Amino acid sequence: MSKKKKKWIYPRHQVVRNLLYLVMYPYCRLKFGVKIERMKDQQNRPYLILLNHQMVFDQFFVGMAFKGHIYYVATEDIFSLGWVSSVIRYLLAPIPIKKQTTDVHAVRTCYKVAKEGGTIAIAPEGNRTYSGKTEYMNPAIASLAKTLNLPIAFFRIEGGYGIQPRWCDKARRGKMRGYFSRVIMPEEYKEWSNDELYQVIQKELYVNEAKVTTNYYHRKNAEYLERLLYVCPHCGLSIFESHGDKVACKTCNREYQYLATKELKGVGFDSQFRFVNDWYEYQKDFVNKLDINEYIDQPMYSEQASFSEVIVYKNKKMIRENAVVELYGDRVLIDDNVFPFAEITAASVLGRNKLNIYYDKKVYQLKGNKRFNAIKYVHMYYRYKNVNKGEGNEQFLGL
């Protein structure tokens, strides 16, 4: 007798969704000032919802705009929290995916959910934006969408970066909006090539917050910008520190003020960057021109962080709370553990500033203090990969 296949979708998911809606709708409205526009003419059918990723609460905004339960594709980090993850799986059944890797199991699960009549939500960027601009999307999203053969609903979030940039902890007072901009049916896109569909996905989800729209108020507007910045236009590779509405390079001591308009202002000098995105693009360009061979014998950075092994879909095992971490042009050294870039299969930033390293079929995680900058490790890893693949002019740095 064949074993009955376990279902993914259960009635309790909808019950939990309805209870969460009663709590999260007023909370999000009050906390973030978000205006949610519900999907019109939703009909009783499943969708593939694609959204741009600006805030940690994005999934709640989508859920507030859509009537039924949504099965969100989520990174393995939330599935590695022991009993907490078990509760999340039981109540909401998100679809796990290994970040920055090709996860065939995640694709199969999406197909299973779609076959059972479930609506799936994916942020194709795979990362919340650090700069306020919709970033790189893996072209494989188009192939997955065509495989699922569901109506594709595009959910746009605008103003989320102004309310709470990924690099900060505190939400600002301001306005933001979440709404479905377009729905395309399978009959419409079935004749499109994957590239044509990919171009539509990019266009529909592109949002650039590097512009003055409305004001976003908080007395500590610049706090923790050093989670993003590590290249000074005057000093090159450097270390930054923020306090209140200002962030300063610790090498040349130049200060920049982050204004309520999201603009940057040099303190006592003219800043060459008007928005954080301008600085972020400069930083990536700097790395894409960097000679990493100059940092083989001496580290670019040396700092401390907690060092754990992530037992994927189970829990995390602490290896050392205060490990010494050194970043070189071709490797990361964590205490006596060497992680050569040539042998690392992927590196990714989780949350605001945690770093995952995928090495030797295992996942390791670094979590520093509040000022820890994880992006530089990902950027240098991809710079090394590009150079050693003979693609020194490749611009993609992993985010």
In tens, the pLDDT along 238-289 reads 999 999 999 999 999 999 999 999 999 999 999 999 999 999 999 999 999 9
**What's the whole-number mean pLDDT along residues 360-380?**
96
In tens, the pLDDT along 153-171 reads 999 999 999 999 999 999 9
pLDDT at 221 over 50: yes
pLDDT at 230 over 80: yes
In angstroms, the CA 221 to CA 265 distance is: 13
For residue 2, the 8-state DSSP code is P
- The total of other beta-carbon atoms located within 10 Å of residue 203's CB is 11
Q: What is the pLDDT of residue 1?
A: 45
Which string of DSSP letters, residue by residue, matches 172-238? PB--EEEEEEEEE-HHHHTTS-HHHHHHHHHHHH--B--S--S--B-TTTTTTGGGT--EETTTEE-
Name the average pLDDT for the chain. 93
In angstroms, the CA 373 to CA 214 distance is: 28
pLDDT band at 98 (very low <50, low <70, confident <90, very high): confident
Q: What is the pTM of this model?
A: 0.92
Q: Would you say 162 and 213 are in contact if contact means Cβ atoms under 8 Å apart?
A: yes
pLDDT band at 312 (very low <50, low <70, confident <90, very high): confident
**What's the whole-number mean pLDDT along residues 314-319?**
90
